[in-house]
Amino acid sequence: MNASGAPKIMSHPVVIGEIVRNLTELGVKPANICIYERFPDQLESIGYARFLSDKIDIRAVEPYRGLLREYDPRTYVEVNFFGEEDTRSFLIRMIADRFTKIINVPNMKDHGASGVTGCLKNIAYGGFNNVARSHAYTRTHTKTFIGTLASVEPLRSKTVLHIMDGLKGIWHGGPFERHPRFAFYPKQMLFGTDAVAMDRVMRDVIEAKRKTEHAVSVFDRSVETTRNVQQLDPNKNHYIREPGHIEYAASLGLGIADMAQIKLEEIRL
């Protein structure tokens, strides 16, 4: 699940509760289900336990920030972005050793570095440590880093379903709700097995909302937007965004980014 913007924006507890209910009705034992995020403060701020049975394991991967005991020392991506001292990002140990299937539950959100943050970024940055180093100053390497992380085995093959929570989204300032005016309510859920296709559809939702709010496009790459940044100005941003990370992930074989080739079925309730 995603708690990076909690408690104002996150994978909603009702959504998580219904996913768990459906799994148990299909015969999955509660003791075999784990809900996880990286940071305990974000996870604890939501209170998922109130919506679940006592047997569901709710796990914060980093109970002690900076320690690597919850990460697999054998599985990592190594890259130097800005001359940082620590150039490795390690996979969560539970993904490598414990999980057999992963259901990815992101939100519909704008993101200052990657343009948008959905299925790909949630599974990639939620599955590895030491990932925020990909964006600094006004530059970001999210275009290549997100897809690279998401393609690492066994994370790639174990992630079998994506359920995007679009009950509430963020159209600027993400992944956090920096001001109530940046929250919006798409009132939709996306279900699929192709993270690239789902993010491609979601990007159109965020871009359309930004257009109605007269904000610069997520594709705007002008340096001017990074000057004299004010947090509540939707036409300013700390980074040159990289919404093309979706197409880059497609180039790695992670899914389909061409809308003409995406099979999209809409169900209205």
pLDDT, tens digit, 9 for 90 and up, residues 75-104 = 999 999 999 999 999 999 999 999 999 999
First to last CA, the chain: 24
CA distance 194 to 216: 28
Q: Which of 40, 213, 229, 189 is nearest to 106 (CA)?
A: 189
pTM score, two decimals? 0.95
User: 33-47, 53-67, 110-124 — which is least confidently predicted?
Assistant: 53-67
Cβ atoms within 10 Å of 240's Cβ, excluding its own: 18
Q: Which of 111, 77, 265 is nearest to 120 (CA)?
A: 111
Decide if pLDDT at 66 tops 80.
no
**Contact predicate 212/179, CB 8 Å:** no
User: Rounded to the nearest 5°, which phi and psi values hold at 263?
Assistant: -90, 110
64 confidence band (pLDDT: 50, 70, 90): low
User: DSSP state, 226?
Assistant: G
Q: Which residues contact 72 (CB under 8 A, 6 or more apart)?
A: 90, 91, 92, 93, 95, 96, 97
CA distance 26 to 230: 49
Q: What percent of the chain has pLDDT over 70?
A: 98
